[in-house]
Amino acid sequence: MSKVKYISVIGASHCDEATAGLARETGRLIAGAGAVLVCGGMGGVMEAACRGAKSKGGSTVGILPGLDAAGANSWLDLRILTGIGHARNLAVAASGDVAIAIGGEFGTLSEIGLALKCGRTVIMLGGWEISRDGEIPRGIVPAATPAEAVRLALVKL
């Protein structure tokens, strides 16, 4: 029996159409690979990625910040209510076997750091450029396209 693969998609709850397009394609490719998409369950990158995954019949999980589903995107198969606000970023980061960061704001930056602390590889598709002393830290892998991001994520599983 093969192990189910979980890929966290992290990104801002509001994004422009170009970023949403990257997220939709990433979600579509994750579903096409048979992996489960995990995200924060809200709008923006999260909603676009879930929409892409559902277009290919994929499975989506949203780890929500509140005690109700207000603001949850309609493309989720499973909604997990936490009531812990932004602290839910740890659950999003830890629930994927690997993470793909698409664009993003400070919440995304926190998820990148938390994923790395959890020993997860983070594939960076646009957005934050992270370096230490001019070097990309171990565990961060840049990607230029959704196809490259998902291919790299699958290699890391």
pLDDT given for residue 156 in this prediction: 84
> In order of start, what are the domains of the chain with their CATH numbers?
6-156 (3.40.50.450)
- Written as one letter, the residue type at 91 is A
pLDDT given for residue 157 in this prediction? 75
What single DSSP character describes residue 138?
T
> Does pLDDT of 64 surpass 70?
yes
pTM over 0.95, yes/no: yes
Please check the confidence at residue 2 and state whether its pLDDT lies above 80. Answer: no
Average pLDDT, the chain: 96
Per-residue pLDDT tens over the stretch 10-35:
999 999 999 999 999 999 999 999 99
User: Rounded to whole angstroms, how far apart are CA atoms 89 and 112?
Assistant: 9
Rounded to a whole number of angstroms, the CA Rg of the chain reads: 14
Contacts of 129 (CB under 8 A, 6+ apart): none
Q: Report pLDDT digits (tens) over 120-154.
A: 999 999 999 999 999 999 999 999 999 999 999 99
